[in-house]
A and B are shown apart, each in its own frame.
Chain A
């Protein structure tokens, strides 16, 4: 199958830098900001964005990792998934939570994440950042911060590879 690289390492880095600036701007600073990644790669992206924000603003933003397996509505349609660890900052009540995921597709993962988040507390605002938005939404959900819009057919496979998990930074389509 034909595989094409859509974003290379430098482009991923630039996209994340831009998203970091956009988050700071939308939040008018970094007060009460919490980044929550959706495992596995969303968590790594959230950590990179936090590092960017720390470099730009000189403030460390809390980063969490939120597994949404138990909240999915399609558990009966796929083989059983092993859940990943969830590590959340102590208190998200009243905070601005930015959910971070690698690819935004049907929106069902984000819906599950919103439910899961609600069981941890009541944030003031929840926003969504995604490295890739590939369309094909099945729910009325949209991202606030997007690295790259990538219109694609349902048959195409988009894979995000990150150094922390896959040994290299690249987004490919095949």
Chain B
């Protein structure tokens, strides 16, 4: 692989390669010595134009456990705030000799632009671009589901026949999009649940079942996985629903809905959680919740992605 920009173009075999490699990475994280010499001498730049502590430290931990040198770049306080363009930043990184660039950007398509522009030779890994995609988050979600379903025997397996219900702010969620494409490629059945105002344009042409009522969706889809999304108030510049209380009542995973779930239904959330809004504390802290596993697996999946992107010969394109 040269870059990891999205999950839409990822084949089932490519996805399984990343997930299986992540299994090996996870195994190394159980040892006393967690560090591998694999990417020694490589430089990885965390290029973050948008704040995200948890994704940044997850990537930083992953790169450091593979012995890469990590340079953290935050747009705040950099020349970007003085008007420097993405091109200028990329060319600076090229001059520094970066081997890999992990980019988070508020504009959809920024990662693809960086990868295809010819400004930089480094492998580009999308850590979230606008409302487009967040491939490693989807991969770690798939990894977490697979681990819960198949345990030690996960290697080589897809998610065939697994029913996943994704609930909440689909319109602003790159996590929902990345998950939809990846879960489909792995053979799962995906449903979106959201008020019409929080569904993205064109969603009806996507391979997904759509519900407006969470209760109906839980009844009809009999989900193996319920994935709650965060209400991204920072991205909402209009009224998408009347108020928080009404949202929680209609689309939140409250105690009543959580108790109605089967005991082996997984509850997922990409974090950070708005407790009491999209998810109740009881659901978030239950044994069915995978929130903390997702964080742990995030490091393994990102190690796998960095390994597959940055080791091996650079094929000049």
Question: Could you list which residues of chain A lie within 8 angstroms of chain B, going by C-beta atoms?
Answer: 67, 70-71, 75-86, 115, 118-120
Contacts and interface: CB of A to CB of B under 8 A. Distances in A.
Given A75-B312, A80-B308, A82-B17, A70 B36 contact: yes
Interface residues of B, number: 22
Interface stretch (B21-29, B90-98, B134-142): B21-29
Given A119-B31, A119-B33, A83 B24 contact: yes
B37 A70 contact: yes
B24 A81 contact: no
Interface centre among A76, A79, A81, A84 (most CB of B within 10 A): A76
B263 interface: no
Interface centre among A75, A82, A86 (most CB of B within 10 A): A75
A79 B38 CA distance: 14
8 contacts: A67-B24, A70-B307, A78-B312, A78-B313, A82-B21, A83-B24, A84-B24, A85-B27
Contacts of A75: 38, 311-312
B38 A71 contact: yes
Contacts of A118: 33
Contact of A81 (B32, B33, B36, B312): B312
B80 interface: no
Given A80-B312, A81-B312, A115 B37 contact: yes
A70 B24 CA distance: 10
Contacts of A119: 28, 31-33, 36
Interface in B286-313: 307-308, 311-313
Contact of B1 (A77, A80, A84): A80
A85 B31 contact: no
Nearest to A80: B312
Given A71-B37, A85-B155, A86-B24, A80 B31 contact: no
A77 B23 contact: no
Given A78-B313, A80-B312, 4 more contacts: A70-B28, A75-B312, A80-B308, A86-B24
A70 B308 CA distance: 11
A70 B38 contact: yes
A168 B32 CA distance: 39
Contacts of A120: 31
A78 B24 CA distance: 20
Nearest to A72: B38
Nearest to B41: A76
Given A67-B24, A86-B24, A119-B31, A80 B311 contact: yes
Contacts of B50: none
B20 interface: yes
Interface centre among A71, A78, A83, A84 (most CB of B within 10 A): A83
B60 to A, nearest CB: 19
A78 B155 CA distance: 24
Nearest to B31: A119
B301 to A, nearest CB: 14
Interface in B1-60: 1, 17, 20-21, 23-24, 27-28, 31-33, 36-38
Contacts of A83: 21, 24, 307
Contact of B313 (A67, A71, A76, A115): A76
A57 B23 CA distance: 36
B20 to A, nearest CB: 7
B311 A76 contact: yes
Nearest to A118: B33
A2 B146 CA distance: 47
